[in-house]
Chains A and B, each alone.
Chain A
């Protein structure tokens, strides 16, 4: 997807949005969803091992924010990372081949679902330790500032991660040193089986920036237009040298925490209700319909995406396992 930096504000009606941009965002969200559905299937078939955390339901967050980025911005996130990589234009084939642990995967099969990277695409992982990516994201912002470029660091973390001490250590330093980092809290209401209310004191996670003088917003993360608008505001603020910004995205994951989560902590109804009323992909479809795009056209897009994903799945299963010599490479540079 080409980087789009048009800066429309909330005041303009959604209908004024560039149709091409909307279709692009629809495609990207759908690509992520179909990718994740396929990953879930391959996991069930034993083709993918270990932990596999699906992003289904949260697609609008990463796609909306990505639509406001420019070349050179850096992205870092947790283990729930497949969507972020696809949004960064990483090739679904290489991502899927990493999930199957094959040579053509982004980490040559050595990292797996939770640990993937692409320096070329500005994607700095893929981190398995909850909240470890938060100071790393602030450090990437430090490098942008140090180098004097106009880029920012987009640092994603979950509601559960938001309680780790290193988040607040990062907030403090980022604010003190005016680092161009956007802290994106993907509040999907649960950290594994624990709801936000049971893990986090205070009303809103975003409020926690106040103590450090960091500007923050709460955003409907199921509405891609709202996400994009907020991202534009946050990124402009950061790029202009004013320091960090917090976006708390209210979102939801439809699937279990990982594949082995019996999900007894919430009801099936809760999930169904959100799926029916606030699905980000259904929402944008409705908007596109209103703008005159017919279902047939949307269906065609889906068919194309499905075949792209089928290709990726085939590629990921055909790619050979890494050679045994890879066991001892990449441990240190010299």
Chain B
């Protein structure tokens, strides 16, 4: 019997990887548990273990091949009792083993044109660069969180920081969110500038009391004496298939509270400009990243003094028929929707909020005055969400400019389900945005 060894999935979000190295040769006998290959993803290099016993009949994908899709056959394992050539021949009759078909498909991505004075880097690199640059220029900036130092970050955002800055500036904490958030806040009261990473914002709920009661309110309670220059950052929102306790958007939770600033970048440029501003900001800043975005590449200015002001939105695409207001991962989905809408004859404007508190009301209202129709997009729950707030603000400030009621595209009003089909239904999709825009434009 011949068994196909398939390119394994090694993380919830992995779609493809590089087959870096074969640790076995054709003809080698292996048993379950033996290491057979090394695979690299954008996050890590991992060893692949054999799951069956047998003999390696053929290596189908050469070492060094990039972009190998999960589940592509990478080798053939033959029962060690069989004659190797017989079974290989047998399998080789199958059309999918023809040479050209074996070559792994490369993922179709839109080419990015390099802009002047910029580099094309991932959101992950942009975040790391922002931290590294600020740590170089201000010795009071330090980083702490779970697995941020020796492990290089659970999602590799802090990669290399320990090497460059040493253990006085980069701290691995125990799994004690409430405690280390409070320690960060105390350090900020002591004039340091902590960057506190939450492995994900789901775990920041453990630290909620310190964030709200200590970081957000103390300046007010002290009559302006006790500033708290701290950044709480980490991935927010849904990753992939990690279910209810690990997939939630907290944007509206934090944006609800006076005393906090809340930002949420979409691109690498946003990530760098906003994180540098957040670190320099004298107030506590909640910095909501998105795990799915970490590996995406964008142009990003090289300038070490590149900053984006907290409180300013950006019009990513100009349009005249409808305004789509989004933040974080939903900006990309909104731009995709705008392309589809374009084919349908609807010219959508896409506003990337970047900052949720303060919210850039001017940009929103100006856009409403131009298009007279609005769709808001977020991954979070609809009830008392960011869209609800925007809708209320538009009502109060630009009611007469509206030609249709504001429509909200949100995550469904349910805890995130694990099952693949239900998760897809629970999350806002490009089609939902397209449909909502169709509705406010009264087109079907």
Contacts and interface: CB of A to CB of B under 8 A. Distances in A.
Nearest to B44: A262
Contact of B203 (A44, A109, A113, A129): A129
Contacts of A328: 412, 414
A198 B151 CA distance: 12
Given A112-B241, A163-B175, A326 B417 contact: yes
Nearest to A163: B174
Interface residues of B, number: 52
Given A128-B243, A327-B414, A331-B415, A192 B147 contact: yes
Contacts of B422: 101, 109-110, 321-322, 324, 326-327
Contacts of A112: 241-243, 418-419
A44 B421 CA distance: 19
A199 to B, nearest CB: 4
Nearest to A112: B418
Interface stretch (B5-13, B337-345, B429-437): B5-13
B240 A163 contact: no
A187 B151 CA distance: 20
A259 interface: yes
Contacts of B426: 327
Given A50-B242, A260-B43, A44 B419 contact: no
Contacts of A259: 9-11
A45 B8 contact: yes
Interface in B168-199: 172, 174-176, 178-179
B421 A322 contact: yes
Interface in B202-260: 202-203, 205-206, 239-246
A129 B206 contact: yes
A11 B415 CA distance: 51
A98 B426 CA distance: 18
Interface in B103-140: none
Interface in B2-56: 6, 8-12, 14, 32, 43-48, 51
Interface string A181-225: 000000000011110001110000000000000000000000000
A115 B421 contact: no
B420 interface: yes
Contacts of B150: 193-194, 198, 265
Given A191-B175, A262-B44, A324-B422, A51 B417 contact: no
Interface in A143-188: 160-161, 163-165
Nearest to A329: B414
B292 interface: no
Contacts of B242: 50-51, 112, 114, 128
A43 B151 CA distance: 23
B116 to A, nearest CB: 37
A130 B206 CA distance: 10
Contacts of A292: none
B237 to A, nearest CB: 15
A322 to B, nearest CB: 5
Given A163-B174, A265-B150, A44 B414 contact: no
Interface string A316-334: 0000011010111001000
Q: A-B pairs with the 3 shortest C-beta distances?
A: A49-B241, A112-B418, A44-B8
14 contacts: A51-B12, A101-B241, A111-B418, A112-B242, A164-B176, A264-B151, A265-B150, A321-B419, A321-B420, A322-B419, A326-B417, A327-B414, A327-B425, A328-B412
Given A109-B422, A327-B425, 16 more contacts: A41-B51, A44-B8, A44-B48, A44-B51, A110-B419, A111-B243, A112-B241, A115-B245, A128-B245, A163-B175, A165-B176, A194-B147, A321-B420, A321-B422, A326-B422, A328-B412
